[in-house]
Amino acid sequence: MSQDQNAPLRDDVRLLGDELGAVLRDQVGKPLFDTVETIRQAAVESRNKGEMQVDHLRQLLDPLDDATLLEVARAFSQFLNLANIAEQHHRERLHRQHQRFPGDPDTDRGLRQVLAELKEAGRSPDEVHATLKDLSVELVLTAHPTEVTRRTLIRKYDRVADLLNTLDRPDLTTEEAQGLRRHLQEQILSAWSTDEIRRARPTPVDEAKWGFATIEQSLWKAVPESMRNIDSELALAGLPALPVDWVPIHFASWMGGDRDGNPNVTATVTGEVLHLARWMAADLYLRDVENLLADLSMHRASEELLERTGPSHEPYRLVLRQVRDRLHITRSKMEARVGQRPEPTGQGFTSSQQLADELCLIDRSLRAVGLSAIADGQLKNTLRRLSCFGITLLRLDIRQESTRHADSLDAITRYLGAGNYSSWSEEEKVQFLVAELDSRRPLVDDCFYRSDFCGDEVREVLQTCKVIAEQGPEGLGAYVISMATTPSDVLAVMLLQKIANVQEPMRVVPLFETLDDLNGAAATMSTLLNLPLYKQRVLNGQEIMIGYSDSAKDAGFLGAAWAQYRTQETLTRIFRNHGIPLTLFHGRGGSISRGGSPTRMALLSQPPGSVAGRIRVTEQGEMIRFKYGRPSVAAYNLEQYLAATLEATLMPPAEPRPEWRTEMDRLTEVSVGNYREVVQGDPALVAYLRTVTPETELSRLALGSRPARRKPGGGVESLRAIPWVFAWTQIRLMLPAWLGTGAALENALKHADETDILQDMSSQWPFFQGVVDMLEMVLAKADPRVASWYEERLTQDAELIRLGQSLRERLAHTVTALKQLTGRQSLLDNNPVMRWSIRVRDPYTDPLHLLQAELMARLRERESDTVLESALMVTIAGIAAGMRNTG
């Protein structure tokens, strides 16, 4: 192996940069290319000197007219996207290296290392096998508005990545390499010639189709590929084989089901998305069956199969043709439902088990007649896809805010003359809900839906429950209640499903988001478990969602992280005492303030016993593409999830020491107070956010179907957590990720005894190690000088300038405190790959930041200008590409 494993990455970045330069010279002319190159060289020189020559860069940018600014912004943005492709490709290269050299310390930790450590720790093969057999990892794809790249460009970028992969082949001839370079330039030219900005905001159905495309183009191949890799690792470790259709990883989605604050997600939309998902699933299985028809031409078959087909020279094809016909009918029925046309006659597949029965019959026959090698080929892949995706492609979660359910029940009780539900005490609500859940009579009649009590919002809630009743359980996952606070919030959804006559109710999952909600979660769930009716209904398992974004927005990163940890500890203990399996659902994102961290770090930093073989995690925004957009990278990340879940289950971290808990309490008291002092206590904060950051301009970018605010107007409390993070990231201040934490560390490090405790925590406690590592990563991406550029161009308000100076000073103190804690002179000294990744992007993001501030100023003067708006959107997308984990 090469001593410098990142040399190929530098070569790829240089190659893509050269090809982009050639396209620029050809398409926009040498003068503009020279302008871009002059700006780039000035930015590189400034970064190399360690001091940004802002005046020099501004002198280069100020004379440019609006149209030229747009082209310059596009050039730098395009390079950052190409750099991301090179880095993603390099990850694939390192993953292959990991497979060739699994013991190498520079490669990632995978299942092989975990199995070896379990053996060394004395875990028996039977225990590991049993744990694996019951392991459950569910990844929930969500369409949060941080994926800024258009799907049409993603496809072009995937082709660029494929070409880079082929160029890595050592046996290429000179002519072949030249041909690949020519194709590479064609793809870069095609990307340059494509509008990178969405001109229309996607609908929830568009978002769902984007999720389906990820499955079709990547995960459909990645799941069986990862399972074959896992099979190999288990065999190498001497573990017995698991069932042929064993797949511990499943997928769910919020796209088309998450209606919390999104008026565009309706019952009609949810129904359409469910039908589209089944249409896509049928289409994908049809492709598999066509391949199986081509392959399974043999005549030897078991008596069981021949009893079904009768004498035949091609019995497998007879069965597969019947399967193909039923899949065609299934697809046609779904097409008809989406188009609201009459459904065709015929029997399609209505459950996964029906399709599995047919395929398993073929599998048993092949194995019975000595053709196991053929059964282990394409057929095994299809069986595993069926086990993972079912006939519904993925399970759709429903999410709604708790007050919408309370309002619906208030309308019902007023219609019945039973009083105002919303004004009742919590005890009265629980008594009413339990009584009605236990009652056999219907609560309301059809007249209610036609009454004045049933307004549009109430009707929408009840109509959603009717969709749940009509669809059946196979395509549905969890009903998530955002802003869950009390036991009645959970019972209310159970009753609403009963009112809609849902025969197999969706599991009801409270989402505890704010600091107060997290702290009150244990009391809420204990009250519910003390209700015999409720406990009986969750004996087979309870799922609880832990919110990251709103808790961090409410209390700051450190305060939220400790509250999430303590809440999980308490909930794990409560459900263990009741003998009920608990699955914790983590609402993570890509940024530090949304719980973003490497998979293994994220799972091993959870409290001991909280994983217990079951984990559910959201994969949000741009992280879906980064982690699952290409089959080989997706297969690797799926294995990482399995390995980390197995490790966290059988080798959980030790309980934190009492002095560590005491120290965390001290740290978070200071941190939360310091964070809220600024975010909630400084009247200039909202004005600073809306003046200095592009928070207001973000609404111009067609990022997602959901509005950026829960309510029009309002302050920070009305702003959704994702735009809150996104806006601060654009100006490189990264405020949500560190504010308060630095003050807490600085205060603790003044005392020798606390310093010793902190150093013990950072070296021995995975939870705190994760906090430190994530903080260091985000501080390395922060740049107070960049934030000051925005201030200089966009405000002369003394209060805003005062606040900006204060925030930059707090950031500097945070960096100093972290260096003191880690003992490292520079950030990311322990992570050269990440440090280089940030450094190579800076000369391209710096001009984009200056451009963005200039464009914001010009647009605010003119209010509306198509060219300037396009250029601004390009800078937002480009900076997001440069920062990577923005949401």
φ/ψ of residue 653, rounded to 5 = -65, 160
Report the catalytic residues.
144, 553
Question: Residue for token digits 């310059």?
Answer: 72
- Give exposure, 597-636, as e/b (b: 16+ Cβ within 10 Å): bbbbebbbbbbbbbbbbbbbbbbbbbbbbbbbbbbbbbbb
Q: Is the dihedral of CA 298, 300, 305, 308 positive or negative?
A: positive
Element (H, E) at 277: helix 267-295
Determine the Cα–Cα distance for residues 370 and 751; give it in Å rounded to an integer.
72
Q: Is the dihedral of CA 448, 454, 456, 461 positive or negative?
A: negative
Structure tokens at 102: 């699994």
Determine the Cα–Cα distance for residues 795 and 510; give it in Å rounded to an integer.
43
Alpha-carbon distances of 261 from 205, 547, 557, rounded to whole Å? 16, 16, 24
Determine the Cα–Cα distance for residues 154 and 157; give it in Å rounded to an integer.
5
- Are 27 and 94 in contact, with CB atoms under 8 Å apart? no
The 8-class DSSP code of residue 242 comes to P
Determine the Cα–Cα distance for residues 805 and 785; give it in Å rounded to an integer.
11
The 8-class DSSP code of residue 257 comes to T
- The residues, any chain, with a CB within 8 Å of residue 876's CB and separated by 6 or more, are 148, 694, 697, 698, 701, 730, 852
Alpha-carbon distances of 470 from 428, 466, 492, 503, rounded to whole Å? 32, 6, 20, 9
Determine the Cα–Cα distance for residues 335 and 338; give it in Å rounded to an integer.
5
Pairing mode, strands 507-512 and 582-587: unpaired
Q: Is the dihedral of CA 53, 55, 56, 58 positive or negative?
A: positive
Strand-pair partners of 583: 543
- Are 691 and 800 in contact, with CB atoms under 8 Å apart? yes
Question: Residue for token digits 């980064």?
Answer: 626
Determine the Cα–Cα distance for residues 313 and 75; give it in Å rounded to an integer.
62
Long-range contacts of 709-715 (CB under 8 A, 24+ apart): 710/261, 715/686
Determine the Cα–Cα distance for residues 711 and 719; give it in Å rounded to an integer.
8
Three-state DSSP state, 151 = helix
φ/ψ of residue 584, rounded to 5 = -95, 130
Residue type, 465: C
Whose CA is closest to 268, among 393, 410, 276, 282? 276
Determine the Cα–Cα distance for residues 349 and 474; give it in Å rounded to an integer.
12
φ/ψ of residue 275, rounded to 5 = -70, -40
- The residues, any chain, with a CB within 8 Å of residue 299's CB and separated by 6 or more, are 312, 313, 314, 315
Question: Residue for token digits 């409390």?
Answer: 717
- Are 622 and 147 in contact, with CB atoms under 8 Å apart? yes
Determine the Cα–Cα distance for residues 634 and 642; give it in Å rounded to an integer.
12
